[in-house]
Amino acid sequence: MGNLLFLFSFLLFALMVSGNHETGRNASATMIVGEKGRIGAIVDVSSRIGKEEILAMHMAIEDFNSLSNQNFSLVIRDSRNDPNLAALAAKDLITVQQVQALIGPQTWEMASVVAEVGNENQIPVLALANEIPKWATERSKFLVQASPSQLNQMRAIAGIVSSGDWHLVNVIYEDSDLSTNGVFLYLVHALKDVGAEVGQFVGLSQFDSDLFSELEKLRRGSSRIFVVHMSFKLALRLFEIANEMGMMGKDYVWITTDSFTSLVHSFNVSINSILQGVVGVKSYISERNPPYHEFYLRFCQRFRLEHFDEHNNEPGVFAVQAYDAAKTAALAMSEIQDKGNDLLDKIKLTDFQGLGGKIQFKDRKLAPADTFQIINVIGRSYRDLGFWSDKLGFSQDLQENSSSSLLMKELDNVFWPGGSLKTPRGWVVPTDSAPLRIGVPTNSMFKQYVRVEEDPTGNNLTFNGLAIDLFKAMLDYLPFAPHVFCPFNGTYNDLVKEIYLKNFDAAIGDIAITTKRIGHAEFTHPYSEVGLVMIVPTRKDTSNKALLFTKPFTVTMWILIAVVTAYNGFVVWFIERNHCPEHQGSMFDQAGAMLCSSFTTLFSLHGNRLHSNLSRMAMVAWLFTALVITQTYTANLASMLTVQKLEASISNIETLQKINASVGNGKGTFVKTYLEEVLDFPAESIKSYTTPNDLVDALRNKEIAAAFLEVPFAKLFLARFCKEFMIAGPTYLIGGFGFAFPRGYPLLRDVDKALLKVSESGKYRKLEESMIGSEKCEDTDVKDESSSLSPNSFFILFVLSGGVSTIALTLYTISAHKSCVQQNAIWRLMLAVIKRWRNHNRGFSRRVSDLPQTELKNCPKATNLQIQV
């Protein structure tokens, strides 16, 4: 059958080369006088790409001949997009037309068979296929990739997906293109980097007559993001059918790759009307390049004359690549005399600035393209949204100082299918699908999180617990498909694996998030606290109590008491120092008396020994403060002595390992594996339990020395056994409970948002408080340890005492000053009187002594006067 097909293709090719087109330029084989060499080209003559490539290659040869005074010619053969015809055309060009180099074809299927022919005849083949596998260039020594790889466009597509906050995409491709394996591997990695993945790969063929059924399968799914990677003809057929099915409207997203988008300049109005809202990645050609601008003007003029039936006359990237490839071949041929290895070596050494960029080969390949245009089909044509480049990401222009971002927010607004500017959410809830099967564990250790019970009739199951209530609360913020809870009696690892096996569509409950489980499913953000702790029995505190008497007050409080006491003692001493003999004496004796009086006032007022009302006032205020302080101290100290102090019986896991103690954990959880692989506990020393009561009994009976529980479980456990057990050692930051969904689940981000809304609204906190509050502590007589009291507790009292003492000291100082002033005035008056009297007495005595004695005898009154005086 294969031989008949090859024979049929050969006869078809014979008819083709003998037809009327042989007289035209496209198949010219006429020898030209003085011709130096021939370059063969294999293209699809009837396609837009072929038309652009033929004109561009002829222009390249003409330009080269005119500039270098050479005489090269171009021989074209039509492949009609058939690999067999392409192979026959290659043989004809090499054996009959005697070409020295081959250019084309456009697809890898045809390029691969042409490369084999070229390799057999040692003729270099400059392939214009965008992607050539590495093994192909290694096997075909004469194969040269003359067009840059477009793999980086997959990163641009991943950026578009990330900008829309989408996480699941469907890829539709042409299954006859064998180079797609490497392309899609690159796409998968690029999507993974932005937190997305491919839901389905759908391969279509040009000969597939039932595209409708394939699209119908995609429409029934939840994802509405489609990446189209196929040739123009098949892609256009796909869009026409999708438009008829209503898949080009609102909520849909279509992203096209370079192989289709780079022809967008040639689309007519009818095609654009179908493609409304499509976003595409297009190869970038710098229009600032002067040679390109000159080529652009000449190309448009000639293309209009030769192909007046075409809608648009502008050259695309395929014309530019063909021009540079023809120039590369002509340049190499002009520098050699023989064909074969010499020509191949010259091609590999090519180095010039082409229309599309630098033409320089490494391992017979051009440097990959790193810049692309992002376009949006809207109205009668399309518009440029901006650029994506390897260096900048998305940007409006390619200047180094231009604003850029990893997301499309830097570009113009996108008109999505349906004409909306709002970014589609990218998924829908399937209405015609079966209800979602949600797995629920039945063997949860703490039934407060998940409880699965039969109703009294035994016919139905009821699902309760915090995890179930949280899931139901989440549904208030998330449109969700109909679902049904399915009990699962197995380990949590097996429950998550059931999602991977597609037996469950999701799983909810107290499911800890671990690395192993992430390999089978994707989890929401943890809705509980994260961590693993060690629970151990408690024992009485046997630590040193020598300084327990100082604990009722803080250090600051003790210092402040001493300062205020000394201050009040100083005030009383200062006021009473002139009235009390014990306050007299040397400075040392007075200081001792002051301190003694300061502290004795804490126990008695000594009011009868105080002589000043001011000192009594200061003493009363301080005694009131001292009374409150001493009573508070006594009460706090008594509380500390009566409260039973507890401490952990084992403080760390090193102690457990040294004594080779057994430890416990919940059955079916990840904790056992963590204890073995991370904390290095021997497997035989780890025991699993199914209920909290079993765990408590094991701890009480000393069957195990400690238990390891996740933090949410530990809170429940200690809420019930609040005195007998306690947490010891560090918290290991692992785990955290979450809901599990299939990998790439499109609603996962929305589920996370719904969980955040439940938390932010306070509903989750109320659910958790209600759950923990329902647990009654079995040790109801436990009292909290009293803490040491600080000066803040007695601030008003200290202000009162210090203020009263300060006022008393101030008043006394003022009174003493006034008394001193008055006393000084009296003394001055007395001294003046005494001095006056002395002066008067001295003058009178002198006058009396001057009289004769006879006169004195006759004057008894005078004598009496003197005596009286």
Residue 302: pLDDT band with limits 50, 70, 90 = very high
> How far is it, in rounded angstroms, from Cα 470 to Cα 397?
48
Q: Tell me the whole-structure pTM to 2 decimals.
A: 0.65
pLDDT in tens, 652-688: 888 888 888 899 998 888 899 899 989 989 999 999 9
State residue 586's pLDDT score: 61
Q: Answer with the residue of higher pLDDT: 570 or 236.
A: 236
> How far is it, in rounded angstroms, from Cα 839 to Cα 240?
144
Sign of the CA dihedral with 495 first, then 497, 501, and 504 last? positive
Residue with tokens 């961590």: 531
CA dist 744 → 3, 735, 748 (Å): 46, 21, 8
> How far is it, in rounded angstroms, from Cα 296 to Cα 92?
33
pLDDT in tens, 548-572: 777 788 888 888 888 888 887 777 7
> How far is it, in rounded angstroms, from Cα 639 to Cα 214?
79
pLDDT in tens, 363-395: 999 999 999 999 999 988 999 999 999 988 999
Q: Is the pLDDT of residue 12 over 60?
A: no
Please answer whether residues 248 and 239 qualify as being in contact, where contact means their C-beta atoms are separated by less than 8 angstroms.
yes
> How far is it, in rounded angstroms, from Cα 325 to Cα 42?
13
Per mean pLDDT, which range of 117-131, 453-467, 802-816, 820-834 is the poorest?
A: 820-834
Nearest alpha-carbon partner for 498 in 741, 292, 329: 741
Please answer whether residues 649 and 538 qualify as being in contact, where contact means their C-beta atoms are separated by less than 8 angstroms.
yes
Q: Is the pLDDT of residue 725 over 90?
A: no
Per mean pLDDT, which range of 83-97, 451-465, 494-508 is the poorest?
A: 451-465
pLDDT in tens, 272-291: 999 999 999 999 998 888 89
Q: Is the pLDDT of residue 136 over 90?
A: no
Residue 783: pLDDT band with limits 50, 70, 90 = very low
Query: Bridge-partner residues for 376, per DSSP?
Result: 279, 383
Q: Answer with the residue of higher pLDDT: 130 or 840.
A: 130
Structure tokens at 791: 């000066």
State residue 436's pLDDT score: 85
State residue 865's pLDDT score: 33
State residue 867's pLDDT score: 32
Residue 804: pLDDT band with limits 50, 70, 90 = confident
State residue 581's pLDDT score: 57
Q: Is the pLDDT of residue 605 over 50?
A: no
State residue 749's pLDDT score: 82
Q: Identify each DSSP E strand in 82-236 by its residue range.
A: 101-103, 125-127, 143-145, 168-174, 197-204, 225-229
Nearest alpha-carbon partner for 315 in 292, 344, 342: 292
Per mean pLDDT, which range of 50-54, 245-249, 318-322, 398-402 is the poorest?
A: 398-402
Residue 1: pLDDT band with limits 50, 70, 90 = very low
- Best-predicted range by mean pLDDT among 119-128, 403-412, 473-482, 635-644? 119-128
State residue 592's pLDDT score: 64
> How far is it, in rounded angstroms, from Cα 235 to Cα 72?
37
- Best-predicted range by mean pLDDT among 99-108, 167-176, 324-333? 324-333
Percent of the chain whose predicted confidence (pLDDT) is above 90: 40
Residue 864: pLDDT band with limits 50, 70, 90 = very low
Please answer whether residues 94 and 105 qualify as being in contact, where contact means their C-beta atoms are separated by less than 8 angstroms.
no
Residue 841: pLDDT band with limits 50, 70, 90 = low
> How far is it, in rounded angstroms, from Cα 254 to Cα 247?
10
What is the widest separation between alpha-carbon atoms in the chain?
197
Residue with tokens 């560090």: 730
Per mean pLDDT, which range of 630-634, 689-693, 744-748 is the poorest?
A: 744-748
CA 92: distance to chain centroid? 60
pLDDT in tens, 395-419: 998 887 788 888 998 888 999 999 8
Residue with tokens 């001294």: 831
> How far is it, in rounded angstroms, from Cα 815 to Cα 42?
123
- DSSP run (H or E) holding 809: helix 795-849
Q: Is the pLDDT of residue 584 over 60?
A: no
Nearest alpha-carbon partner for 12 in 69, 68, 92: 92
Specify the pairing of strand 404-405 against strand 461-464. unpaired
CA dist 790 → 561, 628, 867 (Å): 11, 14, 81
Q: What is the DSSP string of 266-291?
A: G--HHHHHHSTT-EEEEE---TT-HH
- Identity of the amino acid at 789: L
Instruction: Count other C-beta atoms under 10 Å from residue 540's C-beta.
Output: 9
Q: Is the pLDDT of residue 4 over 70?
A: no
> How far is it, in rounded angstroms, from Cα 737 to Cα 510?
5
Residue range 107-126: mean pLDDT, rounded: 92
Please answer whether residues 313 and 303 qualify as being in contact, where contact means their C-beta atoms are separated by less than 8 angstroms.
yes
N-terminal to C-terminal alpha carbon distance within the chain: 174
pLDDT in tens, 495-536: 999 999 999 999 999 999 998 899 899 999 999 999 999 999
Residue 5: pLDDT band with limits 50, 70, 90 = very low
Structure tokens at 533: 């702790």
Residue range 115-139: mean pLDDT, rounded: 89
> How far is it, in rounded angstroms, from Cα 642 to Cα 591?
40
Sign of the CA dihedral with 197 first, then 203, 204, and 210 last? negative
State residue 404's pLDDT score: 86
State residue 868's pLDDT score: 34
Please answer whether residues 435 and 483 qualify as being in contact, where contact means their C-beta atoms are separated by less than 8 angstroms.
yes
- Identity of the amino acid at 301: Q
Per mean pLDDT, which range of 485-499, 513-527, 586-600, 637-651 is the poorest?
A: 586-600
Give residues with Cβ within 8 angstroms of 72, minimum separation 6.
35, 36, 37, 38, 39, 61, 64, 65, 330, 333, 334
Residue range 145-169: mean pLDDT, rounded: 92
> How far is it, in rounded angstroms, from Cα 146 to Cα 318?
11
Residue 27: pLDDT band with limits 50, 70, 90 = very low
> How far is it, in rounded angstroms, from Cα 624 to Cα 564?
13
Per mean pLDDT, which range of 85-89, 204-208, 456-460, 489-493 is the poorest?
A: 456-460
The pLDDT mean for the chain works out to 82
Residue 426: pLDDT band with limits 50, 70, 90 = confident
Residue range 821-849: mean pLDDT, rounded: 60
Q: Answer with the residue of higher pLDDT: 311 or 284.
A: 284
Q: Is the pLDDT of residue 296 over 90?
A: yes
> How far is it, in rounded angstroms, from Cα 392 to Cα 600?
82
> How far is it, in rounded angstroms, from Cα 154 to Cα 163?
14
State residue 646's pLDDT score: 64
3-class secondary structure, 120: helix
Q: Torsions phi, psi of 682, nearest 5? A: -65, 145
Q: Answer with the residue of higher pLDDT: 713 or 781.
A: 713
